[in-house]
Amino acid sequence: MSEVRWNRAYLSIGSNIRPELHLPVSVRMLSKVGRILAVSRVWESAPFGVSEASNDQGAQNFLNAAVLLETLLSARTLCVDVVPALEVQLGRVRDPHDKNAPRTIDVDLSLFNRDVLTVGHRSIPAPDILTRAFVAVPLAEVDPDYVHPTADRTLAQIAAELAPTFSMRLRPDVALR
């Protein structure tokens, strides 16, 4: 008889189209595939990869957060089946010409247990953890002592290094649960 293996999935979530609605709904949807162990606070930042000229023309700021999910699902199932279905249900439209286009929801599997793997085009751990505060800071809130599998630093250390390099503000008015 095989033993049940619970996995820890660290998911980064973001939205800049009605994020106050889409972020909490995405957390509720994720709770259907496992147990939510922790959620970060919600952070607001300017859209990444959008020029100031574009931003002046109405590109909305992103709200970002992180979820620590305990699940029986594999990383592959989360990336290939669960996340795309969740994004479609919440109206995500991918623009093949603009990967930084506005979106109702963006869910990325950033870390999975302490594994280093590739699922489709996705590298886990997500490289953005080491370069973007809007990814690192929320992840550090859900598990500050987690040691990044390839960087050999805790999420709290990574977030502390990156936080001064990005303009972010806390959004206590947006509750994820």
Helical packing angle, 155-162 and 133-142, nearest 10°: 150
Q: Which helix (H) or strand (E) holds 105?
A: none
pLDDT tens-digit profile of 137-159?
A: 999 999 999 999 999 999 999 99
- In contact, 22 and 90? CB cutoff 8 Å: yes
Which pTM was predicted? 0.91
Residue type, 33: V
Judge whether 104 and 91 are in contact, CB under 8 Å.
yes
At 142, list the tokens.
């859900």
Give the span between the Cα atoms of 64 and 129, in whole angstroms. Answer: 13
What are 44-92's pLDDT values in tens digits?
A: 999 876 544 444 445 799 999 999 999 999 999 999 999 999 998 997 8
Q: What per-residue confidence (pLDDT) applies to 92? A: 84
Return the ∠ at Cα 153 (arms to 150 and 157), rounded to 5°: 140
Q: Domains in the chain and their CATH numbers? A: 7-118 (3.30.70.560)
| 77-to-71, 109, 159 alpha-carbon distances in Å | 11, 11, 28
- Whole-angstrom Cα distance, residue 21 to residue 173? 12
Q: Are 144 and 66 in contact (CB under 8 A)?
A: no
